[in-house]
């Protein structure tokens, strides 16, 4: 990443709130969206952080997403709820969805919230963190616009939809979070490689003629590949079934591209499942066993080239420690884009090139 400067989390959140308010989001919605966007940067998941703000703003401006949606929950059973996101930014529906899901799980042991009529919800870990803080294990699924080919196909059809699972550990700030795109690499990282002439590993993408490439620019204009061949391809298809078909959202290649298609609502779907950790034993027994597993894993002989073994979510926690002390790194390209937003909306900017 080409580094220009580090910024304080609070100044990035305030800038994001101010921009979102200028395009009409109310105080609650702008704060919710801003905090979730910047949380991704804080955890080092910069591909889903403030770099995406210009595109979210554009969706609002073009009216392909609603400014302040009217969310509607429909009770299906005591522990299942169906949420209509009213085409607001995905962060708004997903944030309300996970809070509902946790409260259903607290009352009934398990909660399920299906969401339709949403948009790109950013980093899935955001919602897992809420569940983990509330002593729940959770799965969070979303579908996404077409980017990956089904196994054996040469055309993108399903999304890079992340598989996301989380649960608490002893350290409430460091939950187990497995949050991974079904692509070999997040599209934002591919874009960055394209813009900066960075070589990528073979296997991440094909060029537009279907040949394997390690050239970032050729990969960006070609086809991204799922991780693990048919396994990642199968997961991204599964995500379209559980988060798209099942929830009543768009599916089968119909989710509009968040970045390039402003012709109408994306109608993204999400599915959230929360389970209380104390269903079959006490919460403290669950945590003890999680900690035991982590300790045992860390004692294992390390593979060549590895100094430490981490549990999923730990690398991002380590990023957070550095970023909260030193500030959040932004690339020159991102700073330039944000500076353009600050000029366009006359918002005070912390960015100086």
Ligand X SMILES: NC(=O)c1ccc[n+]([C@@H]2O[C@H](COP(=O)([O-])OP(=O)(O)OC[C@H]3O[C@@H](n4cnc5c(N)ncnc54)[C@H](O)[C@@H]3O)[C@@H](O)[C@H]2O)c1
Q: Could you tell me the smallest distance in angstroms from the CB atom of residue 297 to ligand X?
A: 10
Q: Could you tell me the smallest distance in angstroms from the CB atom of residue 228 to ligand X?
A: 12
Q: Nearest CA to 160 among 243, 224, 77, 105?
A: 224
Q: Nearest CA to 140 among 152, 131, 149?
A: 131
Buried b (16+ CB within 10 A) or exposed e, 15-51: bbbbbbbbbebeeebbbbbbbbbbbbbbbbbbbbbbb
Q: Could you tell me the smallest distance in angstroms from the CB atom of residue 208 to ligand X?
A: 21
The residues in 128-167 that bind ligand X, with binding defined as CB under 6 A, are 142, 144, 159-162, 164
Q: Could you tell me the smallest distance in angstroms from the CB atom of residue 180 to ligand X?
A: 4
Nearer to ligand X, 164 or 274 (CB): 164
Q: Does 88 bind ligand X (CB under 6 A)?
A: no
Complete DSSP assignment for 51-87: GGHHHHHHHHHTTSS-SS---EEEEEETTEEEEE-TT
Q: Which of 25, 38, 60, 123 is the binder for ligand X (CB under 6 A)?
A: 123
Residue 136, strand partner residues: 276
Kindly state the number of chain residues that form the binding site for ligand X, as judged by CB under 6 A: 28
Q: Could you tell me the smallest distance in angstroms from the CB atom of residue 179 to ligand X?
A: 4
Can you read off the two tokens belonging to residue 114? 């299906």
Nearer to ligand X, 124 or 137 (CB): 124
The residues in 162-191 that bind ligand X, with binding defined as CB under 6 A, are 162, 164, 177-181, 185-186
Rg of the chain's alpha carbons, rounded to an integer? 20
Q: Are 133 and 139 in contact (CB under 8 A)?
A: no
Q: Could you tell me the smallest distance in angstroms from the CB atom of residue 292 to ligand X?
A: 18
Which window, 116-124, 192-200, 275-283, 343-351, contacts ligand X (CB under 6 A)? Answer: 116-124
- Cα–Cα distance measured from residue 167 to residue 131, given in angstroms and rounded to the nearest whole number: 7
Q: Nearest CA to 93 among 115, 122, 74?
A: 115
Q: Are 66 and 87 in contact (CB under 8 A)?
A: yes
Convert residues 8-47 into a mask of x (bound to ligand X by CB under 6 A) and - (unbound).
Answer: -------------------------------------x-x
Residue 271, strand partner residues: 114, 141
Convert residues 282-321 into a mask of x (bound to ligand X by CB under 6 A) and - (unbound).
Answer: ----------------------------x-xx-xx-----
The residues in 42-61 that bind ligand X, with binding defined as CB under 6 A, are 45, 47-48
Convert residues 216-235 into a mask of x (bound to ligand X by CB under 6 A) and - (unbound).
Answer: --------------------
Q: Could you tell me the smallest distance in angstroms from the CB atom of residue 181 to ligand X?
A: 4
Complete DSSP assignment for 124-186: THHHHHHHHHTTEEEEEEE--SS-BPPTT-SS--B----EEEEE--SSTTS-EEEEE-SBSS-
Nearer to ligand X, 315 or 350 (CB): 315
Q: Are 353 and 4 in contact (CB under 8 A)?
A: yes
Q: Which of 102, 125, 249, 265 is the binder for ligand X (CB under 6 A)?
A: 125
Q: Distance of alpha carbon 98 from its chain centroid, rounded?
A: 14
DSSP label of 307: S
Nearer to ligand X, 149 or 159 (CB): 159
Positions that interact with ligand X (CB under 6 A): 45, 47-48, 120-125, 142, 144, 159-162, 164, 177-181, 185-186, 310, 312-313, 315-316
């Amino acid at each position: 990443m080409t580094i220009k400067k580090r910024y304080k989390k609070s100044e990035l959140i305030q800038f994001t709130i101010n921009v979102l308010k200028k395009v009409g989001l109310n105080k609650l919605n702008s704060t919710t969206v801003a905090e979730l966007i910047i949380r991704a940067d804080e955890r080092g998941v910069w591909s889903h952080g403030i770099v995406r703000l210009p595109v979210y703003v554009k969706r609002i401006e073009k009216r392909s997403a609603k400014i302040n949606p009217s969310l509607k929950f429909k009770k299906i059973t005591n522990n299942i709820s169906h949420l209509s996101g009213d085409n607001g930014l995905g962060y708004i529906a997903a944030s309300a969805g996970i809070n509902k899901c946790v409260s259903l799980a607290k009352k009934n042991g398990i909660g399920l919230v299906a969401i339709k009529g949403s948009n790109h919800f950013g980093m899935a870990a955001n919602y897992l963190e809420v569940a983990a803080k509330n002593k729940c294990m959770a799965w969070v699924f979303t579908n996404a616009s077409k980017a990956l080919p089904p196994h054996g196909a040469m055309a993108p059809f399903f999304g890079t939809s992340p598989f996301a699972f989380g649960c608490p550990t002893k350290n409430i700030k460091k939950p187990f979070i497995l949050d991974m795109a079904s692509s070999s690499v997040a599209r934002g990282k591919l874009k960055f490689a394209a813009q900066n002439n960075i070589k990528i590993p073979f296997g991440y993408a094909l060029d537009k003629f279907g040949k394997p490439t390690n050239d970032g620019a050729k990969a960006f204009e070609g086809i991204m590949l799922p991780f693990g061949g048919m396994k990642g391809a199968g997961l991204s298809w599964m995500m379209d079934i559980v988060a798209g078909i099942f929830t009543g959202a768009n599916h089968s290649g119909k989710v509009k591209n968040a970045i390039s298609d402003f012709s109408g609502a994306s109608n993204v779907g999400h599915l959230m499942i929360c389970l209380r950790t104390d269903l079959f034993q006490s919460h403290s027994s669950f945590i003890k066993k999680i900690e035991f597993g982590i300790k045992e894993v860390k004692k294992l002989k390390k593979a060549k080239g590895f100094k430490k073994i981490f549990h999923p979510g730990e690398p991002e926690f380590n990023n957070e420690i550095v970023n909260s002390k030193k500030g959040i790194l932004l690339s020159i390209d991102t700073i330039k884009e944000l500076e353009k937003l600050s000029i366009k909306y006359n918002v005070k900017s912390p960015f100086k090139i």
